[in-house]
Amino acid sequence: MNKIAILTSGGDAPGMNAAVRAVVRMALYHGLEVYGIEQGYKGLLNSEIFKMDRKSVSDIIQRGGTVLRTARCPEFKNEEVRKHAANILKEKDIDALVVIGGDGSFTGAKLLSKLGVKTIGLPGTIDNDLAYTDFTIGFDTAINTVMDAIHKLRDTSTSHDRVSIIEVMGRNCGDIALYSGLAGGAEAIIVPEVGFDKDELCKTILEGKSKGKQHNLVVLAEGVGGAEELAKYVEDVTGLDARATILGHIQRGGSPTVSDAVLASRLGARAVELLMEGKTCRVVGIKDNKIIDMDIDEALAVERKFDKDLYDVATILSY
């Protein structure tokens, strides 16, 4: 193996640049040529491929987003499209591909491996929704971004005796809401894995008011419903002033935390080692602070288990 390429796919996540840097520098250390692919699988199909060196990844470890840029590519589901992508890599004598992204990106990597391209996947998604790994690149930064918003909203909510409903990302995975809600002292955490009763929430808010609480913070995962609709319902039922704050894509941005930068660097370095060992169709992750790798199919088949114990602790501590 002499040449490898790297791309970032799907939604961006803080720490992707740290992973790109690790892959490039580890590969160069071992005498390999490295090529960057811009705009994910879409860029691969358009041959947006360029050679990278140490300078290509200088001063990017602290930057959010992805210097390679990213894009969705639904047409990659078509087998003929994938064959075209594999041929582009083969024409450039690129032997292997490192893909940073989520489950959809991993599926693309798996299908490319069946066409003779060695592939390794790195988990880059703020949702922390890949069950085979304890944490994904970008998750820690995202929850710290939410924490900063919670602290600011708490100040203004207290000043106005207000109910503040904060909508965070997480369509099918409530980890952002759970971790930030627990750390931020939210009175209620609403996640898709558990669900909620609107009237019970209103009852809890009123009980808190009767006990002297000046404000209420509710953290809502987007997969459960909309913050604006819930705020209106709470206001109508309780008579209290309720406001919605939708954090949106601010959760994707910002410099990676130490945890994300270190995780991304460890995973990126291991990806290159696996390729040099001749491995393919693997993903890298972390379990009990140890770097692990496993078959992509096996990784995607791991059943995700919501941390109900942590949720119960958060609920108890909210009283």
Does position 218 have pLDDT exceeding 90, yes or no? yes
**What value does the mean pLDDT take over residues 30-35?**
97
Query: In the prediction, which pLDDT does 230 show?
Result: 97
In contact, 109 and 296? CB cutoff 8 Å: yes
- Would you say residue 50 has pLDDT above 90? yes
Which structure tokens are listed for 129? 């929704």
**Whether 220 contacts 166, CB under 8 Å:** yes
The C-alpha atoms of residue 109 and residue 130 are separated, in whole angstroms, by: 15
- To the question of whether residue 184 is assigned a binding role by annotation, the answer is no
Give the per-residue pLDDT at 239: 95
Name residue, tokens 């909309």: 226
pLDDT given for residue 221 in this prediction: 97
Note if 93 is an active site residue. Answer: no
Residue 36: predicted pLDDT:
98
pLDDT for position 181 = 97
Q: Is 252 labelled a binding residue?
A: yes
Find out whether 169 is annotated in a ligand binding site. Answer: yes
What pLDDT score does 209 carry? 85
Query: For 129-151, what is the mean pLDDT?
Result: 97
Q: What is the band of 290 on the pLDDT scale with cuts at 50, 70, 90? A: very high
**pLDDT value of residue 222:** 96
**What phi, psi does 303 have (nearest 5°)?**
-75, 125
What pLDDT digit, counting tens, does each position of 156-175 carry? 988 888 999 999 999 999 99
63 is in an annotated binding site: no
Residue 106's identity, in one-letter code, is F
Kindly name the residue from 127, 140, 260, 293 that is annotated as catalytic: 127
> Which of 15-24, 70-79, 267-276 shows the lowest per-residue confidence on average (mean pLDDT)?
70-79
CB 40 within 8 A of CB 105: yes
Q: Is residue 202 marked as binding? A: no
Question: Is the model's pTM score more than 0.75?
Answer: yes
What domains can you pick out in the chain, each with its CATH number? 3-137+256-301 (3.40.50.450), 139-253 (3.40.50.460)
283 assigned to a ligand binding site: no
